[in-house]
């Protein structure tokens, strides 16, 4: 009985040891070979200046504009322009009723003629004009001009002509008429602004940046601008002015950027601005190339149709590109698509490889 029990125990021990033995694992290389290569897109790691982006918003404003004001009180008799119209320098914008001013010019002209006759008569009565050509003679002629009323009449005519000129309002610059709100028959007063004229090809955007970013800015730096009215069109701009003062309340610094080709843009439009600040030279890769593994940044590169895992040290990023401080070399082929589930030494191929493979089938 004891012998039978001992044999059964030995048999069960043998079977148990046999069933718990670990089988040989499949060769990882042979396993990867059985999987299809993943199609990826590549971009070469390049050493270049990293562009640090400063994001801000602002309003478009004319770089050159004038406010047209009337210089005398009167009634609008003739209006020759409308909003949006392009005018030339010295082009007439409007005319005020000027019957009184015309009459004043006529009266001043008549009085000037009377005074001139009296002056010439007094001059003849004084003696031979040849005797008045020296310094003493000039003083005598000047006295006669004043005593005859000629000097006063000349000034009165100039005043009347100036008052008449105030009834004709002209443009000081060439540009587009805006903010015109008066109509024919309206009364205007001296000093009233009747419209604004601005140069449509000289627009800029006024904005503000943080005090911490002002040290990165320089005159001439490039920027991209997009408006709310047309967010799909990008306009080129450049920094032309940096106000050397920080607002005590907001901690912001005001800057101005000139817009290179401001077609379709209007003063007062709201726009977003991205100022491109050149930074240190480092390897730059698209943001899509960065994946996380155990919380650490990794970039996959393609070597001999295999994905290679590279731990990297990141620098600055601007939403599109990332600065690589360590972990990559210039010229490596960086994988920028289908890289979220990649493993080290996973087979990969490019679209060109796929085309060549299809041709060979």
- Is 5 a member of any domain? no
Averaged pLDDT for residues 176-201: 93
- Is 232 a member of any domain? yes
Q: Note down the domain range covering 255.
A: 54-64+202-279
Instruction: Name the domain boundary from 234, 255, 279.
Output: 279
Instruction: Name the domain boundary from 179, 198, 217.
Output: 198
Give yes or no for a contact between 173 and 199, defined as CB atoms under 8 angstroms apart: yes
Residue 12 is predicted with a pLDDT of 42
Q: Which tops the pLDDT comparison, 59 or 19?
A: 59
pLDDT at residue 18 greater than cutoff 90: no
Q: Are residues 267 and 295 in the same domain?
A: no
The model's pLDDT over 36-86, given as tens digits with 9 standing for 90+, comes to: 788 999 999 888 877 788 899 999 999 999 999 999 999 999 999 999 999
Instruction: Name the domain boundary from 251, 279, 307.
Output: 279
CATH code, domain carrying 307: 2.40.420.20
Residue 129 is predicted with a pLDDT of 59
- Is 111 a member of any domain? yes
Q: Are residues 76 and 177 in the same domain?
A: yes
Q: Are residues 100 and 178 in the same domain?
A: yes
Q: Are residues 252 and 150 in the same domain?
A: no
> Band of the pLDDT at 266, cuts 50, 70, 90?
very high
CATH code, domain carrying 157: 2.40.50.100
Q: Are residues 261 and 296 in the same domain?
A: no
């Amino acid at each position: 009985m004891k012998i039978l029990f001992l044999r059964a125990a030995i048999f069960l021990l043998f079977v148990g040891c046999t069933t718990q033995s670990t089988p040989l694992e499949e060769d990882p290389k042979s396993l990867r070979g059985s999987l299809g290569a993943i199609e990826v897109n590549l971009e070469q790691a390049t050493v270049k200046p990293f562009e640090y982006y400063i994001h801000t918003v602002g309003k478009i404003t004319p770089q050159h504009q004038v406010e047209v004001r009337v210089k005398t009180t009167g009634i609008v008799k003739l209006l020759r322009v409308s909003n949006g119209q392009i005018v030339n320098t010295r082009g007439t914008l409007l005319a005020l009723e000027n019957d009184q001013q015309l009459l004043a010019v006529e009266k001043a002209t008549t009085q000037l003629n009377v005074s001139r006759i009296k002056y010439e008569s007094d001059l003849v009565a004084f003696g031979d004009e040849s005797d008045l050509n020296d310094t003493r003679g000039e003083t005598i002629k000047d006295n006669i001009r004043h005593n005859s009323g000629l000097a006063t009449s000349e000034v009165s005519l100039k005043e009347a002509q100036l008052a008449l000129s105030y009834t004709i309002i002209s443009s000081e610059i060439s540009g587009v008429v805006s903010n015109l709100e008066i109509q024919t028959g309206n009364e205007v007063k001296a000093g009233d602004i009747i419209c604004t004229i601005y140069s449509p090809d000289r627009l800029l955007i006024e904005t503000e940046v943080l005090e911490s970013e002002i040290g990165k800015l320089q005159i001439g730096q490039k920027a991209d601008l997009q408006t709310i009215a047309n967010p799909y069109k990008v306009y080129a701009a450049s920094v032309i002015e940096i106000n050397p003062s920080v607002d005590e309340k907001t901690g912001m610094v005001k800057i101005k950027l000139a817009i290179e080709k401001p077609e379709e843009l209007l003063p007062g439009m709201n726009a977003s601005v991205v100022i491109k600040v050149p930074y240190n030279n480092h390897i730059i890769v698209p943001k899509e190339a960065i994946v996380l593994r155990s919380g650490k940044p990794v970039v996959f590169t393609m070597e001999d149709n295999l994905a290679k895992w590279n731990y990297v040290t990141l620098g600055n990023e601007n939403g599109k590109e990332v600065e690589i401080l360590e972990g990559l070399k210039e010229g490596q082929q960086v994988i920028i698509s289908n890289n979220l589930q990649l493993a080290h030494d996973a087979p990969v191929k490019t679209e060109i490889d796929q085309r060549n493979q299809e041709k060979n089938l």
